[in-house]
Structure 1
Amino acid sequence: MPAPAIRPVVNKADINAFVELAYQLNGDDPHWVAPLRSEVKATISPGKNGWFSHAEAQLFLAERNGKPVGRISAHIDRLALEMPPEQGFGPGTGFWGLFEAADEATAVALIAQAEQWLRNKGMTRALGPVSLSIWEEPGLLVKGQDHAPTVLMGHHPARYQGWIEALGYAPAKKLLTYDLDITQQFPPIVQRIIAAGEKNARIRVRKVDKSRFDEEAAIILGILNDAWSDNWGFVPLTQPEIDDVGKKLKPLVFEDLIMISELDGEPVAFMITLPDFNEALQPLKGSLFPFGWAKLLLWLRKPKVRTMRVPLMGVVKRLQSSRMASQLAFMMIEYIRRAAVPIYGASRGEIGWVLDDNQGMIAIAETIESRINREYVIYQKAL
């Protein structure tokens, strides 16, 4: 297979081709969930994605005989460059992502182009795939191609793994998601821990108040930036990102699915749960027309789903590794479970992603008898 021509995305037609390629290459995969085209375009548009306030990216298209056969982004996050190297990023670290390729020759040419762009910017190390922010869709799916991803998670063909590893990339970090049956009561030990917490006058676990959306979001952001600050790959969320994510996710915010835990009146932990929007999205094939928008509006009014995803939770640093941290986590999970099953019709939950060395979260997942159902790998290579 001859190498394709690689060129930068420079105009609206290129952007459309960049977006459409994913639908062309993945349309036959029964487990791939086509994102809304408008959402993909917003992700790669500096005016609509707050991540660009501290980052820059270049998109590339691969073409063979004038036909698009692959795509990739190369990008640099200035906040990631400022992070301590022992936390995974740091000086000299660049990224590539939004990767799609019809064949191995295309994959090789695209990744080589992304690497060269990063070298030209002074980077000495490449991490990928990360699309675009670590908070968006990080990692390559290497286990779990036999079922559809949940909301805000990626899905990739199994062949990509071999192509990437053949280019000298080695795993930098593994990200896990956990599957659990939420129709069943949690094990007796967990129920006892929850009951003890309910008797503790110092603890209050409450639903968020959507009428105070900005204030509640600020509370959660404060806990998040403290709780995750020592984690591998942490990059603090900025206000422009929060504003854009808020607009995007507000329709998926249901008060009984997001909990804030208070200790002695101080917010110290949170858990965000989202109904699996992908279940409504998958039949639409990425388009709201002619009737997709009406179907989504009806679904958002009162969603009924099989799966609930917990994309984010956090406990303030001073309580981490304590019994209190686990107790608050179990209480929040149980309270959300009590709403998810009877009100939304859910039968399973998915927790993740979870870093493969996050022993505290892994212990919680195992204690409630969940199992790993998907694995993602972020790869690294010296440039």
Structure 2
Amino acid sequence: MTVRIRPVIGKRDRKRFVDLAYTLNGGDPNWVPPLRMEALELVTPGKNPFYEHAEQQLFLAEREGQLVGRISAHIDHLWLAMPADQGGGPGIGNWGMLEAVDAAVATALIGQAEQWLRDKGMTTAMAPLSCSIWEEPGLLVQGHDHPPTVMMGHANPAYQGWVEALGYSGVKDLLTFEIDITKDFPPLVQRIVSSGERNARIRIRKVDKSRFDEEAALILAILNDAWSDNWGFVPITPTEIAHTGKKLKPIVFEDLIRVAEVDGEPVAFMMTLPDLNEMTADFGGSLFPFNWIKLLRRLRKPRVKTMRVPLMGVVKKLQATRLASQLAFMMIEYIRRDSVADYGATRGEFGWILEDNQGMRSIAETIDGRVNKVYRIYSKDL
């Protein structure tokens, strides 16, 4: 049966693009329906600041009059400006948001995305990215047996084979680590933390939510410095900082985000979020008519199983020093204690972490973390 691919045009098509994910994944017990309003915002120019430095085309697949798949093709001009050794450079385009009922549909969709990139002068497809590296990068290739945490993706296990059959090869794996946070960390970590507590130069403080904009700017300044040499790094723009801050503010809790200061200078941070997916999994993707009331109640004092650490960074001048590791362990330990005592959490998740980021992998492994999910970014010459 013929698969017809057509571009998304207008609000009605964008809504159908978003709704299709709920239709195709509704039977997967480990897929968590995102809030529809946020999913729609993600693909709407004017509402997502990603489009200030990127161009994108969404596509829908139809067969016998029924929607059977979707994909996005896009070019991030900040990605094109990245050095080649960090995964960027001229000619690299992306696709993402793939959903398909079978291999034939996936093949047609990816083929259409590739052609759109070729027509724009791109010579390589690096994917999936949905949409930015800061949103949901990579295809889930390990860990389909449990739900993703907040701001992480999920995918049909069959997608890996369908993508690789089209000539795509993995270029980078992104790992998440899970940790039992009800147990004390190993004695070595406890000694490192105790040593830091005796060092008068070190201060680990909670963020001050009453100065939210100022604190957000401070954290993102450290982030842009700390991550600037990482593979896949794209600077976060001022508009994206404001947009992300507005989205995250309701799930920001002062005791779950720490800033490390040395001699009064902020040099590191650790951001932890209660797993919003646990709080919204029963909403079916909608806040209306009464789910918004439930969410407000749940956010007043979250009781969650899992805490996720999406972001952590130490300024470059301290990286690869013993002090950097000490600051990291101190922030992790303080947040672990509060997560268990104040939120009833039993599990932590770190990530994503680049597969070759030995410093962060070492920290995760030292606190007895184990890899629970792997997201793979692929590449193919066009």
TM norm structure 2: 0.99
- CA distance in 1: counterparts of 2:149 and 2:137, whole angstroms: 14
- CA distance in 2: counterparts of 1:48 and 1:244, whole angstroms: 9
The aligned counterpart of 2:178 is 179
- CA distance in 2: counterparts of 1:53 and 1:68, whole angstroms: 29
The aligned counterpart of 2:70 is 71
- CA distance in 1: counterparts of 2:29 and 2:288, whole angstroms: 21
Instruction: Please state how far the C-alpha of 1:194 moved relative to its aligned partner.
Output: 0.2
The aligned counterpart of 2:309 is 310
Paired residue type of 2:246: K
Instruction: Please state how far the C-alpha of 1:73 moved relative to its aligned partner.
Output: 0.3
The aligned counterpart of 1:96 is 95
- CA distance in 1: counterparts of 2:302 and 2:60, whole angstroms: 37
Instruction: Please state how far the C-alpha of 1:301 moved relative to its aligned partner.
Output: 1.0
The aligned counterpart of 2:249 is 250
Q: Deviations over 1:301-350 (max 9, x none)?
A: 11100000000000001111110110000000001011100100000000
Instruction: Please state how far the C-alpha of 1:90 moved relative to its aligned partner.
Output: 1.2
Q: Deviations over 1:88-142 (max 9, x none)?
A: 1111110000110011000000000000111111111001110000000000000
The aligned counterpart of 2:288 is 289
Alignment of 1:379 with 2:365, yes or no, is no
Partner secondary structure for residue 230 of structure 1: coil
Instruction: Please state how far the C-alpha of 1:289 moved relative to its aligned partner.
Output: 2.1
Matches within 5 A, 1:1-383: 2-383=1-382
Unaligned runs of 5+ in 2: none
Q: Deviations over 1:253-304 (max 9, x none)?
A: 0000000001111110000000000001111111112221111111111110
Instruction: Please state how far the C-alpha of 1:171 moved relative to its aligned partner.
Output: 0.2
Mean Cα deviation higher: 227-236 or 42-51: 42-51
Partner secondary structure for residue 283 of structure 1: coil
Contact 1:3 1:106 in 2 (8 A): no
Contact 1:3 1:109 in 2 (8 A): no
- CA distance in 2: counterparts of 1:281 and 1:379, whole angstroms: 31
- CA distance in 1: counterparts of 2:378 and 2:23, whole angstroms: 25
Contact 1:143 1:374 in 2 (8 A): yes
- CA distance in 1: counterparts of 2:2 and 2:313, whole angstroms: 46
- CA distance in 2: counterparts of 1:131 and 1:3, whole angstroms: 27
Partner secondary structure for residue 121 of structure 2: coil
- CA distance in 1: counterparts of 2:55 and 2:10, whole angstroms: 17
Give the number of equivalent residue pairs: 382
Paired residue type of 1:81: L
Instruction: Please state how far the C-alpha of 1:65 moved relative to its aligned partner.
Output: 1.3
Contact 1:276 1:308 in 2 (8 A): yes
- CA distance in 2: counterparts of 1:299 and 1:60, whole angstroms: 37
Contact 1:75 1:96 in 2 (8 A): yes
Q: Percent identity?
A: 68
- CA distance in 1: counterparts of 2:341 and 2:197, whole angstroms: 21
Paired residue type of 2:374: E
- CA distance in 2: counterparts of 1:351 and 1:367, whole angstroms: 13
Q: Deviations over 1:43-88 (max 9, x none)?
A: 1111111111111111000001111100000001111101101101
Unaligned runs of 5+ in 1: none
- CA distance in 1: counterparts of 2:188 and 2:264, whole angstroms: 27
- CA distance in 2: counterparts of 1:52 and 1:299, whole angstroms: 33
- CA distance in 2: counterparts of 1:48 and 1:123, whole angstroms: 26
Contact 1:96 1:129 in 2 (8 A): yes
Q: CA RMSD in A?
A: 0.7
- CA distance in 2: counterparts of 1:254 and 1:3, whole angstroms: 51
Instruction: Please state how far the C-alpha of 1:158 moved relative to its aligned partner.
Output: 0.6
Contact 1:7 1:60 in 2 (8 A): yes
Paired residue type of 1:214: D
Contact 1:178 1:372 in 2 (8 A): yes
Partner secondary structure for residue 380 of structure 1: strand
Paired residue type of 2:235: P
Instruction: Please state how far the C-alpha of 1:3 moved relative to its aligned partner.
Output: 3.8
Contact 1:50 1:243 in 2 (8 A): no
- CA distance in 1: counterparts of 2:215 and 2:65, whole angstroms: 50
- CA distance in 1: counterparts of 2:98 and 2:58, whole angstroms: 10
Partner secondary structure for residue 234 of structure 2: coil
Paired residue type of 1:45: T
Paired residue type of 2:62: E
Q: Deviations over 1:147-172 (max 9, x none)?
A: 00000000001100000000000001
- CA distance in 2: counterparts of 1:42 and 1:196, whole angstroms: 46
Instruction: Please state how far the C-alpha of 1:358 moved relative to its aligned partner.
Output: 0.2
Q: Following superposition, which runs of at least 4 residues in structure 1 exceed 4 angstroms of deviation? A: none
